[in-house]
Structure 1
Amino acid sequence: MTRVSPARRVALRALCQAEHDAVYVRELLGTKDYRLDDVRDAAFALRLALGVTATRGCLDEALNAHLMHPQKLSMRVRMALRIAAFELLYLDASPRVAVSQGVELVHTQARAAAGLANAVLHCVADARSDYLAPTDISDERERSYVAFARQAGMPHWLVKRFATAYGDEQLQAILAAALEAAPVSICCNPRALQSSHFQQLLQEVHASPVALHVHNEVDEAIEHSACEATKALPQLSYYVDEIAPLIRAGVFAQSDAVVSDVHAQAVALRALRAGSLLEIGAGRGTKSFVLTAYAAATGLERKHVALEISAQKAQLNQERLRQAGLGAGVEIVVGDALQLDKALASQDKAGSCPQRFDTVLVDAPCSGTGTMRRHPEIVWRVTPEALDESFPYVQLTMLQEASARVEVSGELIYATCSIMPQENSELVAAFLASQAGASFTLIDEVQTLPLLGLGDGHYCARMQRIGE
């Protein structure tokens, strides 16, 4: 009997728990309960778990074509079959190994299903070429989109949306990166960088500096930033080849650094200006950390109010900033950005009218389509209705609410981690055409894409208030 590899066992266990508990599989694999001593096994388990999550719809389509009663499969058996099918379709694995391991993996969940698994996986292996290049579709244009979608493991409709937005050449570049790991980058606490031990850790993980103010896709926008400090930024941001040594050393637990995509850091830095800042949608505080770290390193004096609807996330933000020694001048507020007057009521008490800020950063909830490599759950959770209706409604409402809090000559910054125009450029155009946006003018906007070797897809628009 073939023995199932440790990586496949761990991947299956994590996938099943993520499905059952509706949590992110990446976060599970980062816990001690799923730790593998062998580095290669750990990497393979992560590759399988993230890959299956990202391509699950296509894997089910390929499997269901060879099942008489697909609805009768238990969740655990289906997940085991998905792992083997992912290896066959997307890792170009040896059919003999992938099928054998897949059968044994199914056997660990349901002995009676082993024979079924053997037959189905052999069929998937034999039909691989036909599935990835669907010759049964007569319309050439439609066939190309289906082929793109299946080869990237994405929903057909989403691939067509990308093609409409960016054209076929950019589409292929986006899809080529879809199943690859995104570069890992961090922003460091300036206090930590003074430690020789920390500097040694950076050398161990082959850290390479990121010049955010001259980064390929964002250099022009950053160079035109209203903050002169960004013209000569201190070196706090780095790409790292390995993240595990930093985790083991307690770097993130001690708030010596945060993991943050380079494009997300660049977006945060566009709000790095003297004066007062209202950060809306602060979440767990990654952008708060980046902003306060660079402000501390440049000696920039500022007042910072960070608003977040989740009390738990707000507490995490506050604790991390406190631990990092970056919390001075930052006020954490729990409240709903869709009801901003209510959320900022305590801040408004001191004045006779609603408080205004020199800079307002709206980090809006969005589809997350620019971060699918890091959060593969997004691929099959996002819907056309959410992209066309739910997200734009919330985003526009947040932007209109936030606009009333911007000082005359101040800046309103709108950001998402989406690459869909209806959440980004089209949304900003709708805001500027509205009554609330009539007193604003667009300074600039930047859209980055999740491409091979580069950061994630982020959008950022800067607007200035030119009147009441």
Structure 2
Amino acid sequence: MTPTARLLATFDLFCAVDGDKRPVDAVTSGWFRNRRDIPDQDRGDILERLYALLRHRARLTWWLDKHGRDHSPRHQFLAWLALMERKSPEDVSRLFGGPKNAATALTKPEYNLVLRLKGCTIEHPDMPEAVRLECPSWAEQSLRARFGGAFAAEMAATLTPPPVDLRVNPVKATRQDMLQALSDLKLHAEVSPLAPHGIRVSGRFNYARFPALKSGAVEIQDEGSQLVALLVDAQPGDRVVDFCAGAGGKTLAIAAQMNNKGRIIACDVSEGRLKRCSERLRNAGMHNTETRLLASETDKWVKRHKLGFDRVLVDAPCSGTGTWRRNPDTRWRDPEENGLQNLIALQGRILASAARLVKPGGRLVYATCSMLTEENEDQVTAFLAANPAFRLVPLGDVTPDLAAKAQGDTLSLTPARHDTDGFFAAVLQRETTPE
């Protein structure tokens, strides 16, 4: 593809993402499926530019407001071309007005917008800090309270592209073998700083070039997510529930911990997610698993199996603030249609219901990919106050090595401090049988 064709393809994809409520990765997958003629290198360039554009959205719309323009995808893209691609008004006119281009030629007001932005940079001294750091209003107060003086550094870290982290499936491969396989592909890879089965790959990574991903020998999984699964500390022969399993990333890691012995049940309220989970478990060679579709967090299945499990993981639905560098579109979507407070209430109900499954001496792990205190520490405090049969297990009692690096009795990871997604996890142990 020519540079012009790549830019116009990015514009087309950006419009598709903007008009779709699905996660951006789902939209891009479908978009590329309908354009199989686009070479891999060009796909990488288009995606890289799209994600960079999404990470600058607040600053682009600030400039549009300054010049009295609406926030349409077209206007955002024009601002991007002027401010980040450093295109002149004449260049932009040729880009949109070429005889073979599907994009409509610039109108006079659009040309004037690009003209006014000529010579400007993406940031401006008059920008509020939250705009410069791309922090949405619905999360700003909570994140400022959480991070204090480190707020700017933490938010800046969410604007950097994430690394590619892999988790080796020890049932099928060793980490050393996978490091060698990546080296054979001329990829720079090294062991993850914290996760015992993790590998971090530098540079652009073409998944299709690595057969181990298709065979289930490795999975793409952020190091923080790997560490949450590690805290479950499931042993061979245990009975385990992954209560909000989704597509099964943590279920896979837990099943591997158990060396395919014992039983792990992956639960979710989405049939589609559980279907994907089942496929991944089969591909990875995990035979100690089953899936269970729940009608809600209080499904009757929970009551029938109370006190029946050694380990229960609640990877609760959350605002996703910890995944902003990986999913930059989510910061501009209200975390739930009914607001953050209703999401927090749902987390509390899920945690209380899942706790019924834990047997005396068993452990309940509560986790989110959020950096908001309301979804993390506050949830644990409220749960322990309402459930005196449980106590918090300090992180050092579960994994001393990780505790020394993460600091604190709970796991609290952030992009700035740990170069992982933002994750929280607390380990809670049932000490007595409920009356």
Q: Distance in 1 between matches of 2:138 and 2:292?
A: 39
Question: Which residues in structure 2 correspond to 1:317-332 (within 5 Å)?
Answer: 317-326=277-286, 328-332=287-291
**2:181 paired residue among 201, 223, 229:** 201
Q: Distance in 1 between matches of 2:92 and 2:418?
A: 32
The residue aligned with 2:167 is 187
Q: Distance in 2 between matches of 1:426 and 1:112?
A: 53
Instruction: Give, in angstroms, the shift of residue 333 of structure 1.
Output: 0.6
The residue aligned with 2:388 is 438
Q: 1:368 to 1:101 in 2, by over 3 A?
A: farther
The residue aligned with 2:192 is 210
Percent sequence identity over matched residues? 25
Partner SS, residue 80 of structure 1: helix
The residue aligned with 1:133 is 125
List gaps (5 residues or longer) in structure 1. Answer: 72-77, 135-145, 214-232
CA shift digits 1:292-326 (9 cap, x unpaired): 22332xxx733211101111111111111112211
Q: 1:260 to 1:387 in 2, by over 3 A?
A: farther
The residue aligned with 2:275 is 315
CA shift digits 1:379-403 (9 cap, x unpaired): 1103699664121111000011011
- 2:249 maps to 1:286: yes
Instruction: Give, in angstroms, the shift of residue 27 of structure 1.
Output: 4.2
AA aligned opposite 2:281: L
Partner SS, residue 119 of structure 1: helix
Q: 1:409 to 1:197 in 2, by over 3 A?
A: closer
Question: Which residues in structure 2 correspond to 1:73-152 (within 5 Å)?
Answer: 78-89=72-83, 91=84, 93-96=85-88, 99-107=89-97, 108=101, 111=104, 113-125=106-118, 128=121, 132-134=124-126, 147-152=128-133
Q: 1:34 to 1:171 in 2, by over 3 A?
A: farther
Partner SS, residue 332 of structure 1: strand
Q: Is the 8 A contact 1:201 1:246 kept in 2?
A: no
CA shift digits 1:229-287 (9 cap, x unpaired): xxxx5xx3200124633323444333232111101100111113222111111000111
The residue aligned with 1:5 is 4
AA aligned opposite 1:464: Q
Q: 1:46 to 1:452 in 2, by over 3 A?
A: farther
Q: 1:109 to 1:156 in 2, by over 3 A?
A: farther
Partner SS, residue 17 of structure 1: helix
Residue correspondences, number: 407
RMSD of aligned alpha carbons: 3.0
List gaps (5 residues or longer) in structure 2. Answer: 394-408
Q: Is the 8 A contact 2:81 2:92 kept in 1?
A: no
AA aligned opposite 1:261: D
Using the size of structure 1 for normalisation, the TM-score is 0.78
AA aligned opposite 1:19: D
Instruction: Give, in angstroms, the shift of residue 369 of structure 1.
Output: 0.2
Q: 1:35 to 1:284 in 2, by over 3 A?
A: farther
- 2:314 maps to 1:362: yes
The residue aligned with 1:49 is 50
The residue aligned with 1:304 is 264
The residue aligned with 2:13 is 14
Instruction: Give, in angstroms, the shift of residue 427 of structure 1.
Output: 1.3
Partner SS, residue 48 of structure 1: helix
Q: 1:12 to 1:206 in 2, by over 3 A?
A: same
Partner SS, residue 442 of structure 1: strand
Instruction: Give, in angstroms, the shift of residue 458 of structure 1.
Output: 0.2
Q: Distance in 2 between matches of 1:160 and 1:85?
A: 28
Higher helix residue share: 1
CA shift digits 1:396-425 (9 cap, x unpaired): 000110111111111111000000000000
The residue aligned with 1:238 is 199
Partner SS, residue 113 of structure 1: coil
CA shift digits 1:15-54 (9 cap, x unpaired): 2222334333344445452774373x54442232113334
Instruction: Give, in angstroms, the shift of residue 355 of structure 1.
Output: 5.0
